[in-house]
Chains A and B, each alone.
Chain A
């Protein structure tokens, strides 16, 4: 039952958001173009989201 009633769904949502926010906080220090910053935040969020989705699927179908 791991994943169905546990805190995993919260993690699946929260971890990508934290990753995106962290990227957004760090990027201005690099002096990148605003569009590039937004795109990078989106890419990081999507990749972490995908990883969490796959991980969750693995845990819940085990």
Chain B
């Protein structure tokens, strides 16, 4: 059995001194990306001795690659049990709570900007219990171009508003940081398909404290390669979203997070009703002008935001795929309704199978891809 790194913390007369930040990466069959992720973390200012990998019974070279980069003492292989269980086992095995003040959980396909960990560490303070950085999409196909748009609008506008109001609904997988003294209060295996949102809602419901948004900390993530991957991913996200809302009775308490999530749901349903009602009304009355006005307004706003995302990311290619964004917006709404029907009406997927949704989704990446 491997002993954890010894020079980890020391006890003065009155206090236990802990290291500032541990990075824990749970991985299953990630040989294509794990080396780039670890190297990227090291290049981004995290020492190898503070990086830990929990290998969830990979059948490929994941563990071997991780051991080669971090040493045996920082890699734990566990029996297959899903990401949440792997993280929990990693926290225990590597004594994260006693050795560190903060724990960063990252996905095995993530990479980090060169100053990422410096930006994260500089903003962490006792007034927060968790933190999240800025997610960006790694360059890829047309779906990743749509994701650039989504992340830009979602992070640059919505996340700032959410942080200001104290209603961040999800600390996303690629960039999630927790103060270690709250870890024993959190249930990492809540039986939902979106454990990151589940944990965030626990922080809100248990009133554990504030969540910091650190926009200067840029983490990069892989997006689905093709439409099928995209469809499966958003199906899992929406199903998980409804599962978490049911689990925590979101919308039924006089709290800010309930009001905010209620607003988000209402916005989606209004859009869906508009999309169905306006064409029907136009057809019924044979007056297509209101539908045309609605579409033109939507087009102007949508195109304006897409141009803004394109300029902000200095990527003209994003605008090239603009017409396909419309198709993905419609797909998103359809999957939203389908997931609502499955989870809320049919009560399917009541307990999520512990597992991974990353099989076959990865492509090889190089850490230098993201250095700007």
Q: Which residues of A contact B (CB under 8 A)?
A: 12, 33, 35-36, 38-40, 42-43, 46-47, 49-50, 53-54, 57
The one of B291, B292, B326 that contacts A38, using a Cβ cutoff of 8 Å: B292
Q: Which chain A residue lies CB-closest to B282?
A: A36
Given contacts A33-B288, A35-B289, A36-B289, contact A49 B323 (CB under 8 A): yes
Return chain A residues, CB-CB under 8 Å to B289.
33, 35-36
> Are A35 and B327 touching (Cβ within 8 A)?
no
Per DSSP, chain A at the interface is helix
Q: Which chain A residue lies CB-closest to B299?
A: A42
Give the B interface residue count (CB, 8 A): 17
Return chain A residues, CB-CB under 8 Å to B128.
none
Q: What are the 3 A-B residue pairs with the smallest beta carbon separation, nearest first? A: A39-B292, A50-B323, A35-B292
Return chain A residues, CB-CB under 8 Å to B296.
35, 38-39, 42
B323 to chain A, nearest CB (A): 4
Return chain B residues, CB-CB under 8 Å to A49.
322-323
> Are B323 and A57 touching (Cβ within 8 A)?
no
Return chain A residues, CB-CB under 8 Å to B321.
53
B81 near A: Cβ within 8 Å?
no
> Are A47 and B292 touching (Cβ within 8 A)?
no
A53 to chain B, nearest CB (A): 6
| CA distance in complex: A58, B291 (Å) | 34
> Are A35 and B293 touching (Cβ within 8 A)?
yes
B265 to chain A, nearest CB (A): 29
Could you write out 5 A-B pairs with CB less than 8 Å apart? A33-B289, A33-B292, A36-B292, A38-B296, A50-B324
